[in-house]
Amino acid sequence: MQLPKFTDVYRGLISTSSISSSDTSWDEGNADVIALLAGWFADLGFETEVVEVEKGKHNLIAKRGSGEGGLLLSGHTDTVPFDQGRWNFDPHALTEANNRFYGLGTADMKGFFAFILEAVKSIDWKDQKKPVYILATCDEETTMLGARHFTQDAPFKPDYCIIGEPTSLTPIRAHKGHVANAIRVTGKSGHSSDPSYGVNAIEVMHEILYVMMQLRDKLIKEYHHPGFEIPSPTLNLGCIHGGDSANRICGCCELHYDVRPLPGISLDGLDNMLREALKEVEAKWQGRISVTPLHEPIPGYECEHDHPFIQGMEEVCEKPSETVNYCTEAPFLQELCPTLVLGPGSIEQAHQPDEYLAFEYIDPTIDVLTKAIWKYCF
C-alpha cells in the first residue's frame, strides 16, 4: 500500500485531535492518532505494537530491522488544549498559509512523525545493520505517562535516542527538570471584628512565602551549572488564592509554585530541602499546612557534551549542541541510552494560538533524520 504524501500525512495527524489535560473536560486520549501511525508504519514494513497504558492512552512501538542496539526516534502524540476564540485558523485542520503549516500539534509535536515517515520511506534497507525504532507516547503534556511506562520495562535497548521536540533543528544535550507543588493552609474562618475568632490562613501563608523566598535564594547560592543560560535552579511563586470576603477571617489559602532543578539535583533531595525549610512554620501551625504535588516530578537531564553521540549529531546538524530551560521526556529515555532532543520548528510556537511550523524546516529535517538513520543503523 502506498503511503500518503507528506502533506496528507501531516494533515491526518493534525486533524485527529489528541488533547491531554488534567482537566477532564478537555482530556481526550490518543487512540485514533496512534491507530493512524500504526497503519502507516506497518505499510512501510515496520513491525508495530500498540500498548494501552491506561484506558484511552496508548503508546506505539514500531521496529524495522533486527539485532542489538540501533536508533530510537521518539515523540509524543498528545497536544495541549487550545485557547478558544484566539486562533485565526482551525486548530484541528492543517492550514497552509504564509509558507507555514498552521494547526495544533504542527510544531509541538505530532508533525514530527510525518518527517520520520517521509525519511524512512525513501531508504533502501538492504544494507541495514541495526534496527530503527519508533516510539510514539501518550500524555507528555500532563504526566509523562507514556515515557514513564515505556522506560519502566523497555522491550529493547537502543544505542541512541532522538526526541523530536521543536528545537529549531539545534541538538539539545541537557535541560532542567520540573517540580510543581501546591501548599495549602487551612485556617479557621470567623468574623473580622475579632481576630481571636479564627486563624487567618493568609497570615500563615505570609510566613510560608518568606520561607519559600529564602529557599529560592539558597538554591541559587548552592547550585550552579555553567552550561545553562540561567545557571541556577529557579523557584517561581506562580499563583495564590485565599479568602472570600474583606470582613471574614480567611479560612483557606493555597499557593502553587514550581522549581526547575538542574541536571544532577536529586528530586528526593529537593523535597527534603522544602520540608526542612517549612519545618518551623509547620511546627508553629501544626496540622494546618499540607504540600501536594501538582504532577509527578520530572528530573533534569544531561547527556555529556563530549559523548560521541552528541558530537556525531553536531556534525550531522552542522550546529553545536545547546541546553534549554524547558523539559521533555528525555530524562526517562536517557535511562535507556544516550539521548538528545532535536526537531523541527521553534519552541516559541509551542502552546500558542496559531501554532505553526515554517516550511523552511521541511527539507533540512528530512535530511537530518535520513543521515542519522544511515549513521547509526547502516
The residues that are catalytic are 78, 140
Instruction: Count CB-CB contacts under 10 A for residue 234.
Output: 15
Residue 154 CA to residue 152 CA, distance in Å, equals: 6
Cell of 199: 486563624
Calpha distance 203→42 (Å, rounded):
61
Give the rounded distance of the alpha carbon of 376 from its chain centre: 25
Q: What's the maximum distance between 2 C-alpha atoms anywhere in the chain? A: 84
Half-sphere exposure of 124 (CA within 13 A, CB side): 2
- The span from the CA of 168 to the CA of 331, in Å, is 20
Beta carbons of 257 and 274 less than 8 angstroms apart: no
Which value, in Å, is the radius of gyration of the alpha carbons in the chain?
23
- Per the DSSP assignment, residues forming a β-bridge with 237 are 257
Count of Cβ atoms closer than 10 Å to residue 254 Cβ: 17
Q: Which residues contact 24 (CB under 8 A, 6 or more apart)?
A: none
Cα–Cα distance measured from residue 326 to residue 351, given in angstroms and rounded to the nearest whole number: 13
User: Which residues, 6+ apart, have CB-to-CB distance to 375 below 8 Å?
Assistant: 312, 316
Q: Report the distance separating Cα 148 and Cα 157, nearest Å.
A: 15
Torsion of CA 343, 348, 350, 352, to 10 degrees: -160
Q: Closest by alpha carbon to 307, among 175, 178, 166, 171?
A: 171
Q: Pick from 192, 71, 212, 184: which is nearest to 135 by CA?
A: 71
Query: Where do we find the cell 511546627?
Result: 283
Cα 142 from Cα 329, distance rounded (Å): 11
- Contact yes or no for 233/262 (Cβ under 8 A): yes
